[in-house]
């Protein structure tokens, strides 16, 4: 008989806020000294989320980056997110604690491959999920995130053919919700496709009656088992609305830190995969509090973009920010 991992269970946090560690206090001092703002994605580790000025999903982070006043933005997330900050706020110094923090979705769609697809059918309207490089954004008509993808796709006139890049799972979810036929790029998130129906069914059996939320990067078979499918930001609002005390969260498990802080009366269960008791993105987890501190001390690594690429990528990104208001 194979043995399967037991899902990780996170009970409510104690009422008093977690005390700051010495390293966290040093990071906050350095942040002030450097006139920096720290933006962190919901998947970042708990001690980074604890020192961030803002923790959110890709859409919220893009808005925060666009309106940032501090001279330095330290982006605790992955490379495409830090690039997005630089694209929308180019006069700022944008730092990323680990330059190698990439994304399997971004890797699946190179500008060369996208340019080749556009050359075959120049009439295609390219809707690019924000999880792509600046060079791919520069070749796209509009950007979207998991939080606004349906809204963005619905803005494209019905007679125009859409190529949705690079996440086929998100694209399929958007197509099913909007009824819009689209060509889908064959990319996927290596972390979210590790969730399986069988692993999720085991978590449901261990927590009878617990509602399930899943990220749209999960496969259709997993999404069909969920009570709600949404972006990481929307998961917070969803959790607040639930009457059940226990909720199953089918996304990268860093999300649970944010949920526990914002929805303190619930117990969260990290949906397992067939191999592990929760699921971490190896790229998101490259950032550590120590690396964040080093980045503030060293003033790097810094995001640099060729101006022609940045300016071309800004057009579809601004379009997204405007369309999703
Ligand atoms: P969100 O925009 O929903 O936070 O998703 C970003 C991401 O990379 C999910 O894997
Ligand atoms: Fe990319 Fe997946 Fe990691 Fe999100 S979780 S950053 S989509 S590899």
Q: Is residue 146 lining ligand 1, measured as CB closer than 6 Å?
A: yes
Give the rounded percent of residues in the chain with a pLDDT score beyond 90. Answer: 93
Q: How far is the CA of 193 from the centre of ligand 2 (A)?
A: 10
- The stretch 147-155 carries a mean pLDDT of 98
Ligand nearest to the CA of 189: 2
Residue 205 has pLDDT above 60, yes or no: yes
pLDDT above 80: residue 16: no
Q: Which atom of ligand 2 is nearest to the CA of 192?
A: 2
Higher pLDDT, 278 or 169: 169
Question: Which atom of ligand 1 lies nearest, measured to the CA of 192?
Answer: 10
Residue 35 has pLDDT above 90, yes or no: yes
Given this model, what pLDDT does residue 224 score? 98
Write out pLDDT tens, residues 92-120. Answer: 999 999 999 999 999 999 999 999 999 99
153: pLDDT strictly greater than 90: yes
Rounded distance from Cα 266 to ligand 2 centre (Å)? 26
Minimal-distance CA residue to ligand 1 atom 3: 231
pLDDT at 2: 59
Q: What is the mean pLDDT of residues 225-249?
A: 98
- Residue with CA closest to ligand 1 atom 8: 131
The ligand 1 atom nearest the CA atom of 41: 4
Q: Provide, rounded to the nearest whole percent, the portion of the chain with pLDDT above 70.
A: 99
Size (the chain), residues: 325
In contact, 21 and 47? CB cutoff 8 Å: yes
DSSP conformational letter for 180: -
Instruction: State which ligand 2 atom lies nearest to the alpha carbon of 251.
Output: 5
The DSSP bridge pattern shows strands 212-214 and 228-229 to be parallel
DSSP string, 193-259: GG--HHHHHHHHHHSTT--EEE-TTS-HHHHTT-SEE--HHHHHHHHHH--SSEEEEES-TTHHHHH
The pLDDT value given to residue 260: 95
* CA 230 to centroid of ligand 2, rounded, Å: 15
Confidence of residue 14 (pLDDT cuts 50, 70, 90): confident
Probe ligand 1: pick from 188, 215, 320, max atoms within 8 Å of CB?
Answer: 215
As for ligand 2, residues whose beta carbon falls within 6 Å of it are: 78, 103-105, 131, 189-192, 217, 252, 281, 283-284
Is the pLDDT at 196 greater than 60? The verdict is: yes
Would you give the end-to-end CA distance of the chain in angstroms?
Answer: 52
Q: At what angle do helices 58-67 and 79-88 cross, to 10 degrees?
A: 40
pLDDT band at 17 (very low <50, low <70, confident <90, very high): confident
Cα 39 to Cα 42: distance, rounded to the nearest angstrom: 10
Measured between alpha carbons, how far is 95 from 37 in angstroms, rounded to an integer? 10
Q: Which residue from 104, 232, 234 has its CB within 8 A of the most atoms of ligand 1, so it is best to mutate? A: 232
167 lines ligand 1 (CB under 6 A): no
Expressed in angstroms and rounded, the spacing between residue 28 Cα and the centre of ligand 2 is 27
> How many beta carbons lie within 10 A of that of residue 117, not counting itself?
16
pLDDT of residue 1: 53
What's this model's pTM, rounded to 2 decimal places? 0.96
pLDDT one-digit tens code per residue, 291-301: 999 999 999 99
């Amino acid at each position: 008989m194979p043995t399967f991992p037991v899902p990780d269970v996170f009970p409510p946090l104690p009422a008093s806020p977690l005390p700051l560690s010495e390293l966290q206090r040093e990071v906050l001092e350095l942040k002030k000294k450097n006139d920096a703002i720290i933006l962190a994605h919901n998947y970042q580790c708990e001690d980074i989320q604890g020192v961030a000025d803002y923790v959110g999903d890709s859409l919220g982070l893009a808005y925060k980056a666009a309106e940032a006043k501090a001279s330095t933005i330290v982006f605790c997330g992955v490379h495409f997110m830090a690039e997005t900050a630089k694209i929308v706020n180019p006069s700022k110094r944008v730092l990323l604690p680990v330059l190698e923090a990439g994304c399997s979705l971004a890797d699946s769609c190179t500008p060369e491959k996208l340019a080749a697809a556009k050359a075959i059918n120049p009439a295609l309207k390219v809707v690019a999920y924000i999880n792509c490089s600046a060079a791919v954004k520069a070749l796209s008509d509009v950007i979207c995130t998991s939080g606004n993808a349906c809204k963005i796709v619905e803005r494209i006139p019905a007679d125009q053919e859409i190529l949705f890049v690079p996440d086929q799972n998100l694209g399929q979810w958007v197509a099913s919700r909007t009824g819009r036929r689209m060509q889908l790029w064959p990319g996927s998130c290596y972390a979210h496709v590790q969730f399986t129906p069988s692993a999720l069914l085991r978590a449901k059996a261990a927590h009878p009656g617990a509602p399930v939320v899943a990220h749209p990067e999960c496969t259709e078979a997993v999404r069909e088992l969920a009570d709600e499918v949404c972006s990481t930001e929307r998961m917070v609002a969803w959790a607040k609305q639930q009457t059940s005390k226990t909720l199953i969260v089918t996304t990268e498990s860093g999300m649970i830190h944010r949920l526990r802080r914002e929805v303190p009366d619930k117990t969260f269960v990290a949906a397992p995969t067939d191999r592990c008791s929760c699921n971490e993105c190896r790229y998101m987890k490259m950032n550590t509090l120590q690396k964040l501190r080093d980045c503030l001390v060293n003033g790097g690594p810094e995001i640099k973009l060729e101006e022609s690429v940045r300016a071309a990528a800004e057009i579809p990104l601004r379009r997204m920010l405007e369309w999703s208001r």
